[in-house]
Amino acid sequence: GPVDGHDYEKLFETLQYAKKTKGPVLVHVITKKGKGYKPAESDVIGTWHGTGPYKIESGDFVKPKEVAPAWSAVVSETVLKLARADERIVAITPAMPVGSKLEKFQKEFPDRMIDVGIAEQHATTMAAGMATQGMKPFLAIYSTFLQRAYDQVVHDICRQNLNVFIGIDRSGLVGADGETHQGVFDISFLRHLPNMVLMMPKDENEGQHLVYTAMQYEDGPIALRYARGNGLGVHMDEELKAIPIGTWETLKEGTQAAILTFGTTIPMAMEAAERLEKAGVSVKVVNARFIKPMDEAYLHDLLGKNIPILTIEEACLIGGFGTGVVEFASENGYHSALVERMGIPDRFIEHGSVTKLLEEIGLTTDAVVDRIHTMIPSKQKRA
């Protein structure tokens, strides 16, 4: 090469030649993103990086009417609100200012918004360095890309116990972003790190309060997981408040079983619990918004009741939240506890809509109802 990637005959000829060559071969191919479609060719900010439905004539995207704000916007706009009152707050992103909805922050505080390009390790170490100087960095980074910066999270942030707020965007299944962007491993590779606090909100109102909590926290690194897509359209409190670290909340009372979950799977758990209630099964639903540290007082009380516990997470099961609950039960002598887990199985999840993928891996309301039924002996169910 270099070879014109839009000259099919020349490209085919080059690849055939490369195929016949013994040993490693590097083919240098030059292409123009969006070649042949002017709206895509002229895109300089990544709007056409991934596409939904659009009008061919104009290039305008056909977007469904939004009934709730995007999760990325909830987080970034809360950070912006806090930055207006605290000049120590800075935002850092590795080439995702648009995806992470940081355009407003960048416009209002251009000197406090840093896009380092596709360099996740650099972004993470920069956040650590700024924290050593008393700044309050907000590192907005997709879950799948945080994997690249694992060593920097360990050695530069956690080992030094620095006050860095990591916004883990695109946590969980991501739908249109595709297989490589599924954000399902971050709990497993962050939960075991000393000093790390890990959270995920049940809705956008709790989300803004957890952002405030993170910015008020001064005892080390803290991370907030949030999904791709939009919130639930709940009422947003005017006044922000800090939520005590490591505290859970009861969303529904129940006496025969308990579901521990957080984030995007809470609606699923609530619907399952309501259906079970109608079938004579009383199930408690717990918002385990702090994945680490867990609410140990809550767990002691729950495990002491000796009722079945089901954990649900839109994340990797191995080393995940449910594993943490099992570990807690074992380490604290609750050897008769029945704890079962639902989540992402030990395989890579393909491209598809979130709804379809959840059905494929058996993470649905029906599956939760069936699992609870199997965990409770028939004689314990109410008539």
Structural domain boundaries of the chain?
3-31, 71-225, 249-380
User: In sequence order, which residues have a C-beta less than 8 Å from that of residue 77 and are 6 or more positions away?
Assistant: 69, 101, 104
Question: Tokens 């469904």 belong to which residue?
Answer: 64
Which pTM value belongs to this model?
A: 0.89
Reference 311, options 349, 285, 333, 331; nearest CA is 285
Binned average pLDDT, 10 residues per bin, the chain of 383 residues:
94 95 94 90 80 84 82 98 98 96 97 97 99 98 98 98 99 93 98 98 98 98 97 96 99 98 98 97 99 99 97 98 98 97 97 96 98 83 47
Secondary-structure breakdown of the chain: helix, strand, coil percentages, each rounded to the nearest 5: 40, 20, 45
Q: How far apart are CA 223 and CA 214, in angstroms?
A: 8
User: Is CATH 3.40.50.970 the right assignment for the domain spanning 71-225?
Assistant: yes
Three-state DSSP at 254 gives coil
Cβ contacts of 96 within 8 Å, gap of 6 or more = 102, 140, 141, 142, 145, 169
Topology (CATH) of 249-380: Rossmann fold (3.40.50)
- Catalytic residues, which ones? 33, 120, 148
